[in-house]
Structures are given as structure tokens and as C-alpha cells.
Structure 1
Amino acid sequence: MTGTPPSGVGRPTARREWSTPPWTRVAPVALLLVVVTVRTLRPIEDPDTWWHLRAGQELAQRFELVGPDPWSPFTTHAWIRHQWLGELLLAGVHAVGGVGAVAWLVTVFALVTVLACYAVARRQASVLVSTAVALAAFVGASMTVTARPQSLSLSLAVVAAHGWTATARDGRVRWWLVPLTWVWACCHGFWFVSPVLGGVVVVGLLLERAPRTLLARTGAATVACLAVAALTPVGPRLLAAPFEVGRITALIEEWQPPTRDLPAFVVTVGMALLLVALRSRGPLPSWPEIGVLGLASYLVVSHGRTVSLAAVLLVPLLAPALERLVPFARERVARPEVLALAVAAVLAAGASAISVTGAVTRPAGFPTALAAPLTALPRGSVVCNDYDAGGWLWWAHPALVPVVDGRTELYDARDVEDYARFAAGGPGTTALAERRGCAVALVRTASPAEQTLVASGWGASARADGWVLLRRPAASAVP
């Protein structure tokens, strides 16, 4: 198999740039930014946002990144706060604009992701092709664009994918990938994608029989990307963080294989299949390209949480392949295009910020209506809680102790399994309540857990918005 030539090779020489004014060329991507803004303007829905927010607030006061969990008596593993930079960002935005500003961050993350995908695609494709690829990548990444640090990984991942694939294409090592990986490692655990991409490119270049000097430089850049992760404020312990999560990924819903009818999965698989179809008709892909496609294919089918990564990794491969089909050549990137996109992005973000009022400031799907009875509970009361309420309890009611939250890597696998039995109803529900000494239970109305607890004598003290607060029977009250 031979390497693919630069993106301009093999194009029909008769193709010319569009003669339309620059502002009309960017109209499609400007419209895309508007659509992204409208689609992401909503209340906070991610249950993990809340504990990330509290973590950031505490880090702003005391910058302690590795140590025992200071919140819960039920966790058994050290807490490695490897997402500290993203958590400080959440806390800083909240300090300025409250919960509404945190919800607004979702729009900002989405706009940055789309612009990053467009910019990477635009380096090798026309405006319309780049817009189409950016739109597909956004849909594929939509499950990950939430108010939590993982959203920062999307724009960083597409830039890293561009850097590594460009290195394989022209033989120039992008050393800026090293500081990029350092920043990424301070934001979220997906940073390891950068050195993995580097390793894939090194193997691909080896199969291409690339010059030894290029292999050595690319290998050195890959090792450097791995090494700098150990030089963040977390220290070498950061390298072990992925393995901490790996203990219980089989018990976490977002780490299960993706649901096949989800739009994000369907679109990302479509991107991969389209890429295969396009490259099978044109110049044969290089081994590094095949390796990146293989990595993306694995990510899209292995875990629901990694579908988004697969979508953005495909951008620098799909854009030039699709460009070969269109009847017009790639336009030069001119200053009016950059200015128009910058203005469109600022206007979209500004309009979103103005709109963050009313319903958007009230979280969606959380027991905020039960704030008064929860506040009235004695300090240190243990709450047998629905999983989605755990992080919110840590933030909104820090005097209470939920039995589980989104920091599942801190809990023993057997405890997570016990909680799954609690949520499923039956004997496991009351068994967990007894073992943890729960004074109350905060679960969803008509859930299996509520039905079992009520049948066991627990009484409802408050109900609102699909949530119920149950009190333990007096005969078995916690001393």
C-alpha cells in the first residue's frame, strides 16, 4: 500500500474557486453557528456538572490535587483531580454569572468545537465541504458537549488529530503538540489520545518505510507528549488516572457500547463509512491514515462516551477526501472570511449570554423543588439517593452525605454493584439503606427504589417535579 499524495494532487486542474464575495462563502458556516447556539441553549442537564463545580470552588481556595476524598465516608480510593483546570473554569464562570453562566458554557464549548473542526477541515477543503464536515462532527460529538471539563477535549482532540496527520503527510513534526498535550492533561483525562495518535502515526510511518530521522523525531514527539502529562501539577500520578476509571467502566452506563440508534452514533459511523468509500475510489490511503481511521472506528463502537472523540478524529481525514468530489477548488483563506467567522461567533455567544435567563438558570431534571426539606435535615444525614442527584447534593446541600455520585472511580466496585441493586428495587434496596444508615432517600417518583422502600414502611415527606423524599421508618431510625 502506498502513501497518499498531498491533498492537491489528483484534483482536476480545470476547477476554479467560486467568484462569489467572501461574505457569501461563509454564510453556511455562520448559519451553522446560529443553529449550534440555538440547539445548546438549555438548562444544565449533566449530573456531573455539579460536583465538578464544587470541586473547582474548593480548588480556588485550596489547590490540593491528590489525596483522600474529603467529601464522602463511603469512597475507598484517592481522588486525583486531573480535571482541575476545567473545574476552575466552571467555578470562575459561576462566580461571575451564577448557574445561568455555567449553562451558557455549553454553547461556548459547542461553538469552539465547531470552529475548531471547521478550521482543521478548511486547511484542506472548501468552505462548503468544511461546513458539512464540521456539522457532521458536531452531531457526532453532541453527547459530550455539556457543562463539564470533558467538553474541552473535543476541540483539543481535533487539533491534535490535525497535527499528527499533517506530520504523517508532509514529514514535518508539529512540536506544538507537546504543550497542547500538557494543557489537555490539565483539563480532562482524554489527553491520552494525543500520544496514542502519535504512536499510531509512528507505526504507520514504519510500515511506510519512512526515513529513520522522521521516525526518530515523530517517536520523540510522541514520548514527549506522554512525558509532559507527568509534569502537570498533579504529577506522575496523572498517568495512573485512566486505570482508576478502568476498574469500574463495566458498571458505568456511558462506558457501555453506544446505542445503535443514537443520532451521534449513526452520523459518526456514516462519516467513517463515507471516508472508506471515498478513499477506495481515489488514491490509496497511507498507513498512518489507516491507523487513525482504525482508532476512530474502535472508539465509535467501544464506548458511548468515546463516540464524540471518533467524530472529531475523522475530520482531518474526511475533509480532503470529500473535497475531491466537489466541482470547485478550495478557496484561499482570506481575511474577510476569518473576520466574518469571528464576528459571527462573538454575536452567537453574546446572544446566548443575553438569553441565559429564566428557565435556563434553573437546572433541568434535578430536585431543586425539594431544597427546603433537604436543607432542614440534620447535618451529616446520609441520603440514599438516585445516581443523578449525587453530584447536585454535593453542590447544593454540602451538609448532607449522598451514598453515590458521579465520581464512581473513587468507590469500590462492589459498592457500585450494591448501588445498582438499590436502584433496581427488591431486597438490595433496603439492604443498602440499612448498611449505609440512610436517614432519608431521594429518588425518582415511581422508580423501583421508591416502590420497594414504600413497601418496607418508608414514608414520603415531600414530592415535587418527579422526585420524592422518603423518610426511614421510626422503628428503624438511625441512632
Structure 2
Amino acid sequence: MGLSTQRVMFITLVMLLAVLATRVPVDTDTWWHIRSGEYTLTEGMIYTDPFSFSKAGETWVNHSWGGQIILYMAWKMGGNVGLALYTTLFAVLGMMALYPICAGNVYLRSFVILLGAITATVFWSARPQMLSFFLSSVFLLILFQYKRQNKDRLWLIPPLMLIWGNLHAGFSIGFIFLVAFIGGELLGHIFAKDKTGIIPMRGIGKLVIITALAVGALIINPYGFAMLRVPFETVNLGVLRGYIQEWQSPNFQGRETWAFLGMIFLIIGASGMAKRGWDWTEYGLICGTAFLAFLYGRNIAVFAVAATPILSYQTDAFLTQQGWQFTPRTRVSKAQSRLNAVLLAVLLFGGLMSIVSVL
């Protein structure tokens, strides 16, 4: 078969994601997360605040305890380089987890994933939330494979939620996705004229059971039921909305938010020009995550995860409708294979040099 252009594109995609994700760890939150991870390993679980002056001894549900240990180990083994590679690893894994559920050929998939990555990059930093970014993509992978590809891996969700609940409070994203699928599929049964692609009622019932099991798995943590309250208590902290930028609405005068707007405009344009129409679940995911992103800028990354495969569905439908689809060749001549190898070597060298220059 040789080194086809498709393979070159796929490898290039991974390299470009790594280049986008690799950055100097400058987030100020990183360091108290590292200290908390070290404290948990050396002193045991944190139940009261051992660090601050004004809140010393106050009850503290340290929802990121597992993620903090991982972050501390990354720093312990590699210093700033370890922290940078930690961010790169989970950013790349999170975006590539969406590849199997995107539509179209390797070029369309690469385009939407890169756009999604550029959109989400404002969120990427050496913090436990990178684990939530990765796991949210895994949840969406499982759910869309169940809906679109008849692959039933729903049994993975409860154990994944058990892990997630001990890593970071972003586990709420997993429940948002589950509720969006349950609600969207029910609305599809009620309102959609064409039931093609809608999960049968029996399958929706299974999703409900899996969600209930995930709630049960979530409470298996050092803080028990208190973990369930953390997302609600966090969003109601006025000091976050008042003084912390990522908990405020996005500033669209900054270029870092333009990719977010670009994804929204492209989804609107592609869906308007294609005859595919809207799936209720997809519509709920887009509207729900866009609302959260407009409310709190940190949720732009959640929108990017949800919107990436959906943008591919709408764009692929439009391209197919226009007859602009083509199937890349899987077999290439020896000369073409050698040329592709040289091109790939140059791209990989450039990408590695870019990453090394940051590290």
C-alpha cells in the first residue's frame, strides 16, 4: 500500500495538535494544584483547608484530589517540561477521541478537529481540568457510537464516571452529555417525521439506567455525597464570576475567541445549506454547550468537544449534496510513497522543533 496521502494527513493532524497544545505552564492555579497533590500523597486526604490564612481549618471538598496527584507526579518527574507534556498529552487524546465519530474523509475530519482544537486551546493549561477535557471527549465518543454506529459501549460509562469523580468536578460535563442524549432522542421520537437514526425507546431506557448507575458510581469517593453538590456550589460562587476571567462571559474583542465564533457560523451555514436537517440530540448539544460557553468562557472547550463531530456531519452532508466529495486513494505508487515520506519527515521535523523550542 505504501505511505498514502491519507496516512500523511492523519499523522500530520496529530503533530499539529501537539504543536497547538504544547505551551509553557504559566497558569497560576497550576502551583496550588501541585502543592495539594503533594500534600495528599504525604499527609493524606484533605478534608479541611491546610493552606490559607483566612479559611484555615474550614471544610474543603477537594474534588480534584486525584488529578492533583497526577499533576504533581508530572511535575516531580519532569518539572516544567513534564507539566507541558501533561497538557499536550490530554489535549491531543481528547481531540483524537473525536476522530472516529466525525463524518467525511480524512481531510474534512482533520479540518474540523483542528478548528475544534483552536477553539478549545484557550482552555488548555496544566491543571486537572485537562482530564475532564479528555474524559468528556471519551463520553461523547461512546454516546455517538451508540447512536450512529450501533456500537454499544455504554457499560464503560459508570466505571469511567467513578474515575472522573475522583479526578475533577468536570464530571458534570458527562451528565450534561447524557441528559442531552436522553432528552434529544425523546424529542426525536415525539417530533421527528423521519425516525431514521433515532435511538429506539428501549435504548433510551438503557441510557437512563446507565445515567443512574453513573450517579451511583460518582459517590464512591473520599467525600461521598458531598461531591454531588460541588458543581452547583461552584457556579454559585459570586467571587468566581466577579474576579476570575474564565468564569466570565467571553470577550469577543480578543482573537482567542474568534475560532469559537467561526465554529458557530460554520455550523449555522452548513446546516442551512444542507438538506440533512437537524437531529434533536445534536441541536440540544449545540444550543446547550453554546449557552454555557456564552455564560462562562471556560466552557468554550466543552462547546468545541460537542460541536466538532456535529460540524463534520453538517459539512459532510452539504459537500455530498453539492457533489464535492472525493475518496482519497489508498494505494499509491512507489514514487508517490517516497515523496509522501519526505514530506512527512519535513513536517514531523518542523513540528518537533516547534515543540522543543517551547519546552
Q: TM-score range by the shorter chain?
A: 0.7 to 0.9
- Structure 1 stretches of 4+ with a deviation exceeding 4 A read 170-173, 329-332, 350-354
1:189 aligned counterpart, secondary structure: coil
Distance 1:213 1:147, change over 3 A: same
Distance 1:264 1:322, change over 3 A: farther
The Cα shift of 1:137 comes to 1.0
2:122 aligned counterpart, secondary structure: coil
- Work out whether 1:293 is the aligned partner of 2:293: no
- Work out whether 1:258 is the aligned partner of 2:250: yes
Question: Which of 163, 178, 181 is the equivalent residue of 2:161?
Answer: 181
What is the percentage of aligned positions where both structures have the same residue?
Answer: 25
- Work out whether 1:328 is the aligned partner of 2:326: yes
Equivalent residues of 1:195, 1:223 under 8 A apart: no
The Cα shift of 1:136 comes to 0.6
Distance between the aligned counterparts of 2:26 and 2:289, measured in 1?
27
Equivalent residues of 1:141, 1:264 under 8 A apart: no
Distance 1:294 1:35, change over 3 A: same
Q: Tell me the alpha carbon deviations over residues 390-443 of structure 1, each in whole angstroms, 9 at most, x when there is no partner.
A: xxxxxxxxxxxxxxxxxxxxxxxxxxxxxxxxxxxxxxxxxxxxxxxxxxxxxx
Distance 1:272 1:166, change over 3 A: farther
2:314 aligned counterpart, secondary structure: helix
The Cα shift of 1:352 comes to 7.9
The Cα shift of 1:330 comes to 8.3
What's the TM-score once normalised by structure 2's chain length?
Answer: 0.80
- Work out whether 1:104 is the aligned partner of 2:99: no
Question: Which of 66, 74, 81 is the equivalent residue of 1:85?
Answer: 66
Distance between the aligned counterparts of 2:230 and 2:38, measured in 1?
22
2:224 corresponds in structure 1 to 235
Distance between the aligned counterparts of 1:257 and 1:275, measured in 2?
21
Question: Which of 5, 28, 33 is the equivalent residue of 1:47?
Answer: 28
Question: Which one-letter code corresponds to 2:278 in the other structure?
Answer: P
Question: Which one-letter code corresponds to 1:228 in the other structure?
Answer: A
Distance 1:352 1:182, change over 3 A: farther
Q: Which runs of 5+ in 2 are unaligned?
A: 190-198, 331-340
Distance between the aligned counterparts of 2:3 and 2:316, measured in 1?
19
Distance between the aligned counterparts of 1:330 and 1:195, measured in 2?
38
1:221 corresponds in structure 2 to 210
Matches within 5 A, 1:145-224: 145-169=124-148, 174-209=154-189, 211-224=200-213
The Cα shift of 1:353 comes to 12
Distance between the aligned counterparts of 1:28 and 1:302, measured in 2?
36
2:55 aligned counterpart, secondary structure: coil
Distance between the aligned counterparts of 1:118 and 1:331, measured in 2?
19
Distance between the aligned counterparts of 1:151 and 1:70, measured in 2?
25
- Work out whether 1:267 is the aligned partner of 2:276: no
1:310 corresponds in structure 2 to 303
1:9 corresponds in structure 2 to none
Question: Which one-letter code corresponds to 1:245 in the other structure?
Answer: T
Q: Tell me the alpha carbon deviations over residues 221-264 of structure 1, each in whole angstroms, 9 at most, x when there is no partner.
A: 12222222111343221111113322233223211001113344
1:136 corresponds in structure 2 to 115
- Would you tell me which structure has more strand in proportion to its own residues? 1
Question: Which one-letter code corresponds to 1:284 in the other structure?
Answer: G
More displaced stretch, 33-42 vs 70-79 = 33-42
Bigger Rg, structure 1 or 2: 1
Q: Tell me the alpha carbon deviations over residues 146-174 of structure 1, each in whole angstroms, 9 at most, x when there is no partner.
A: 11111122222122123223434467652
What's the TM-score once normalised by structure 1's chain length?
Answer: 0.61
Aligned length: 324
Question: Which one-letter code corresponds to 2:203 in the other structure?
Answer: L
Distance between the aligned counterparts of 2:258 and 2:23, measured in 1?
24
- Work out whether 1:63 is the aligned partner of 2:56: no
Equivalent residues of 1:83, 1:187 under 8 A apart: yes
Question: Which one-letter code corresponds to 1:287 in the other structure?
Answer: W
Question: Which one-letter code corresponds to 1:270 in the other structure?
Answer: G
1:176 aligned counterpart, secondary structure: helix
Distance between the aligned counterparts of 1:354 and 1:259, measured in 2?
28
Q: Which runs of 5+ in 1 are unaligned?
A: 1-19, 333-339, 361-479
